[in-house]
Amino acid sequence: MAKLKTKFACTECGNESPKWMGKCPGCGQWNTMVEEKETVVKTQGMGSTLIQTKEKPRPIIHIESGQEKRIETSNQELNRVLGGGVVPGSLILVGGDPGIGKSTLLLQTSHALASKKLKVLYISGEESVRQTRLRADRLGALSDTLYVLCETNMEQINGAIESVNPDFLVIDSIQTVYDPQVQSAPGSVSQVRECTAHFMRVAKIKGIATVLVGHVTKEGAIAGPRMLEHMVDCVLYFEGERHHTYRLLRAVKNRFGSTNEIGIFEMVEEGLREVNNPSELFLSERPMGVSGSTVVASMEGTRPVLVEMQALVATTNFPSPRRMATGIDHNRMTLIVAVLEKRMGMFLQTQDAYLNVAGGIRLDEPAVDLAAAVSIASSFRDAPTRPFDVFFGEIGLTGEVRAVSRAEQRVKEAQKLGFKRVIMPKKSLKGWTPPKGIEIIGVETVAEALSAAFG
């Protein structure tokens, strides 16, 4: 028999220790070390026939090159985030808060692929097959090539994979699956790591596109060891407020595409529906003629998105004023406030400043600096900007407005939504012809931008 020993593993980073410690030495988190039993000598693992390969090392110049063939789903938002579709043999990890819509999205995707006569195997460890059928009835996701199984034992799952031989496999969720050969509870660090490694080998050798659903911690990160995200090919986060209807699908890792793309969905009674024009969504509740509100033209990957940016500047009663930012980097906001104080002479040292990006989206590119500066100045002066103006541009420490990429796409998106003026960096006007019907104002400094906005 194999000898058992006890170890303690961190549920956040997977760091192991022979004794319990209050603080993990790997990630510095408190009270994350849990006890696990580990076998010193492990017998040959189950499903060994699935992971054996006779392939030999070859020179890289002798390996066939070419574009990876993808399986396109009927969901264009999901295709965009994945980089054009699902790659056969890829391992995808989907995380999100409970009840956000992960199972709904994957069941709709499974039905779309099954409608193309592909074999889909949906393994549910949290719902019975009857519960899955009830959800499929509500979503209209019924197909004779969509197979459903309620199972958590890895050996039984291997048997189902052998019998069905699917083209697309869904494991919902990885925290419920356990390997009988690993002496620890389901959802532990060892179980999650071993089961994920096994599914990775199955996906690569058999060419099965596999999706793993992962639980998230209260901080919003995917539960389990951090190496889980390094083992998979693509990591997707499903974000949004449970009490609102809109959801954002964001890629934080993608070996087959860009990580800058986002997909936007609306949760309706029939399931998740694509939002083809997110700019209208983010501007639907924008107030007109109110100080502190501007519209910024941002880029999410290859897609231009117009978003409302709001600022509130109010007198503080404390010696140190507050600086709070939601949807934009806090340090970037502090830099913009400093530029307005030094270069524009605005006395903001006795003012609290709050900046918010409406709609719950996060803007990480520096092209939103100009809109943030105009919003803060508008609230400080209590002077609203024109309701049909759009701003974008990067601000330097000397007060200059620097050029940004994809200016033409931003301007065309603003024109499509009926905006009249675009205030942007002057150097970004080179190399393209502005469209007719919209006024373009090129500026070189923050002073010129504020003069054009409030002139």
Specify binding-site residues for ATP. Answer: 96-103
Number of Cβ within 10 Å of residue 341's Cβ equals 14
What angle, rounded to 10 degrees, do the helices at 369-381 and 446-454 form?
Answer: 50
* Burial degree of 91 (CB within 10 A; 0-12, 13-18, 19+): buried
Tokens 């090539």 label which residue?
A: 145
Residue stretches of the annotated binding site: 96-103
Question: Cα(11)–Cα(192) distance, rounded to whole angstroms?
Answer: 10
Question: Cα(452)–Cα(444) distance, rounded to whole angstroms?
Answer: 12
The three state secondary structure string of 361-429 is: CCCCCHHHHHHHHHHHHHHHHCCCCCCCEEECCEECCCCEEECCCCHHHHHHHHHHCCCCEEEEEHHHH
